[in-house]
Structure 1
Amino acid sequence: MTFAKVLVTGGNGFIGAWTIKYLIDCDYEVLATVRSEDKAASLKARFPGLQTAIVNDITAADAYDDVVRDVEFIEHVAAPIFYRGASDSLAEFDAAVAPAIKSTLNILDAARRNGSKVKKIVLVSSIYAHMSPERQIKESGLVINEKSWSPVTREQSSAPDAFPLDAYGYAKAEAERQAWDYIAKHDDVKYSLTTVNPVYVIGPYLIPQPQIDGTVGLLLPLLTSAEVPAGGLYVAYVEDVANVLVTALEKDAAAGRRFIVSSSGFVSNAEFIESFARIFPDKKFPPLSKELKEQGTPELATVDASLVTELLGIKYSSVDKLVKAYGDMFFGPYGGTNKLVKA
């Protein structure tokens, strides 16, 4: 039996592809938007029979007008990722963040005007909508939860000394704020809104990629450096994120809520490399750097992602499961194409 029809925007992306897999596994009918025929072809190669539609400009006012007409649910994953150059003017900054905001409002507006069947929209945002990791992560005692919003302003994000991801974070927070404002201002909206805001999403690709980048590349220094550097991450396993996205469609309690997704607390690089060594005992991994050995347990802000378990009933994956899936991309039974670690 096939369930309701779901629109997934940005279907060929890292999170989008995993969301499609989970939806298909749950017997949903899926329509995925991509930006080109080439991307549609690669997606269909992984999911034969998948319905696709080309939306090459997600900022166009009518970008989603046609694709929302015959769906009951929408997973809005498509979003630009960008880094603001230090020499940008304020006008250039506004132009850089506008696509993230406009594409979000476009899907909401299209669903209101043309999506008479749409019941729920789930919007993928980011932990950056809740906080500024670069500014707040070392604030011991600070708790980041559903009610938290990033304190970074437009002026701070556009300043010459802004952190590289400040503009990205501002765009994520502002897009989500405007999404909630849109729902509040339009009495004729018939669907509910949920936002899913993961920390750094890690896991294997479902669609072959020419290179490993984005958050997927954050663990690469652990495998390729002469020494494992100091540091660590709050991580969300990509399958957990996809599970939350699909479950949020099915649970009435998800309506109107903001879900932080974090599969673990802070995981140090030492813990990561210990997990890699435990799961792949026949591989040799770089030694820990002196800085990492002396790092100790840092006192950091708490990222409260418990709402996923409390309201959606989802149990997070272990760090070992994430590491196993990640490592298999390189030297597992279905990987091995990237020779990063010596046998």
Structure 2
Amino acid sequence: MPAVSSGTVLVTGANGFIAVWVLQELLEHGFAVRGTVRSEDKATYLRDQFATYSAKLEVIVVNNMTEEGAFDNAAEGTDAILHLASPVALDSEDPNAVIIPAVQGTLGILTSALKHRATVRRVVFLSSAAAIYNPPAPGDTGTRVLDESDWNEHSVKEVREKGGKAWGRDIYRASKTLAERAAWKLYEEERAKGGLEWDLVTLNPPLVYGPLIHEVPTAESLTGSARMWYDSVVKGAVVWPDVVSSHRYAYVDVRDLARAHVLGLTVPEAGGERFMICAGPCIMQQFVDAARRVTDKIPAGEPSYRKEDVVYATVYNASKSRNVLDLSYRSVEETAIDTTRDLERRGWVP
């Protein structure tokens, strides 16, 4: 199980919310980093953000990851690859627009890793809890515990049967499931042939929250889970029905997920494994309560709720990440307080 403790790491999609924290974690641990972005203007921010590491950071443009050989040049001479680039579209009505780039991008980066097997020793692929989650069966009111052995067959079936009429979130979840399945299939097939020098590791986080260090000029330009947190906690908006006190989630702090990527490289026993990366279940009201310790400008939400009365339909067992990676997780309170201070510093708390 070849681990990687030094050398050059390729990071795809290097300018995203999660990826910039991953770059920081890698650079702080002494790795040289080669990041890919889709346009030159996105590279400028990264070079400025990590100016003190200029000798260790290279940023290159890969404007279409679905093209054959898109990552071949980027992977040349690298010791490891972290694949974070993937489309995030929760409301798409076109399954192919989401699924094809996710699967082709994944197979493309692994094919590049095969071409450079002389140097590459490990590939870490950022998947998602969306590839694990299945909805409860009708009438099931208990709490289910899901882990790395589970796969989201429901969303794949929904998209296969309904096509563009499938729920947008099922299309997104299917893309994550099919991309990760494709990664493991290629990996196992190559291992069976013999001579595969690198290991595959996949990470499956739920919603990712935390402070921001990627390029985001205004609160309105926030996207994904960062936008959801901002709208729900800071603005007090109802993103989904009863989102503050009733909607059940699971979360991980972006800094802990970044740390998981480095551990996925450096821990020998991580090779060939799938990891649920999750701090635990949560509802947004918990973040609201913690954020209000920083500033009373945060709307109160529905503070009459009692955490002990919340029943979660689904929880994730992340014990494997704790035991194998020795990964620890930040609490709801720490994530909320640090995120609120960051947003307040930016002037984004009204």
Q: In the alignment, is residue 62 of structure 1 matched against residue 69 of structure 2?
A: yes
1:134/1:223 CA distance change after superposition, 3 Å: farther
Q: In the alignment, is residue 105 of structure 1 matched against residue 107 of structure 2?
A: yes
2:88 to 78, 81, 87: 81
Match for residue 225 of structure 1?
236
Alpha-carbon distance in structure 2 between the residues aligned to 1:3 and 1:320: 34
1:133/1:239 CA distance change after superposition, 3 Å: farther
CA contact (8 A) 1:200 1:215 kept: yes
1:309/1:68 CA distance change after superposition, 3 Å: same
Q: In the alignment, is residue 197 of structure 1 matched against residue 204 of structure 2?
A: yes
- Find the residue that maps to 2:301 and give its secondary structure: coil
Match for residue 119 of structure 1?
121
Match for residue 285 of structure 2?
270
Alpha-carbon distance in structure 1 between the residues aligned to 2:304 and 2:332: 22
How many correspondences in the alignment?
A: 327
Alpha-carbon distance in structure 1 between the residues aligned to 2:313 and 2:90: 25
CA contact (8 A) 2:156 2:170 kept: no
Q: TM-score when scaled to structure 1?
A: 0.88
1:12/1:139 CA distance change after superposition, 3 Å: farther
CA contact (8 A) 2:155 2:171 kept: no
Match for residue 163 of structure 1?
167
Alpha-carbon distance in structure 1 between the residues aligned to 2:137 and 2:41: 40
Match for residue 330 of structure 2?
317
Higher mean Cα deviation, 317-326 or 16-25?
317-326
Match for residue 18 of structure 2?
15
Match for residue 176 of structure 1?
180
- Find the residue that maps to 2:106 and give its secondary structure: helix
User: Aligned AA for 1:202?
Assistant: Y
Quote how far apart the aligned CAs of 1:338 are. Answer: 1.2
- Find the residue that maps to 1:321 and give its secondary structure: helix
Alpha-carbon distance in structure 2 between the residues aligned to 1:121 and 1:84: 30
Match for residue 246 of structure 1?
262
- Find the residue that maps to 1:66 and give its secondary structure: helix
Alpha-carbon distance in structure 2 between the residues aligned to 1:193 and 1:273: 38
Q: In the alignment, is residue 259 of structure 1 matched against residue 275 of structure 2?
A: yes
Quote how far apart the aligned CAs of 1:132 are. Answer: 3.5
Alpha-carbon distance in structure 1 between the residues aligned to 2:137 and 2:302: 25
**CA offsets per residue over residues 44-98 of structure 1, 9 Å max, x none?**
1101212111100000111011111111111111111124544x4xxxx234310
Higher mean Cα deviation, 179-188 or 13-22?
179-188
User: Aligned AA for 2:297?
Assistant: K
- Find the residue that maps to 2:153 and give its secondary structure: coil
1:135/1:95 CA distance change after superposition, 3 Å: farther
Quote how far apart the aligned CAs of 1:139 are. Answer: 5.5
Q: TM-score when scaled to structure 2?
A: 0.86
Quote how far apart the aligned CAs of 1:162 are. Answer: 3.0
User: Aligned AA for 1:162?
Assistant: A
Report the RMSD for the aligned CA atoms in angstroms. Answer: 2.4
- Find the residue that maps to 1:67 and give its secondary structure: helix
Quote how far apart the aligned CAs of 1:117 are. Answer: 0.2
Quote how far apart the aligned CAs of 1:294 are. Answer: 11
CA contact (8 A) 2:9 2:82 kept: yes
Aligned-pair identity (%): 27
1:132 to 110, 131, 134: 134
Quote how far apart the aligned CAs of 1:291 are. Answer: 9.1
**CA offsets per residue over residues 278-327 of structure 1, 9 Å max, x none?**
3x1x4233233499579941242221011111001111112122112210
CA contact (8 A) 1:24 1:30 kept: yes
Q: In the alignment, is residue 286 of structure 1 matched against residue 299 of structure 2?
A: yes
Alpha-carbon distance in structure 2 between the residues aligned to 1:273 and 1:95: 35
Higher mean Cα deviation, 317-326 or 171-180?
317-326
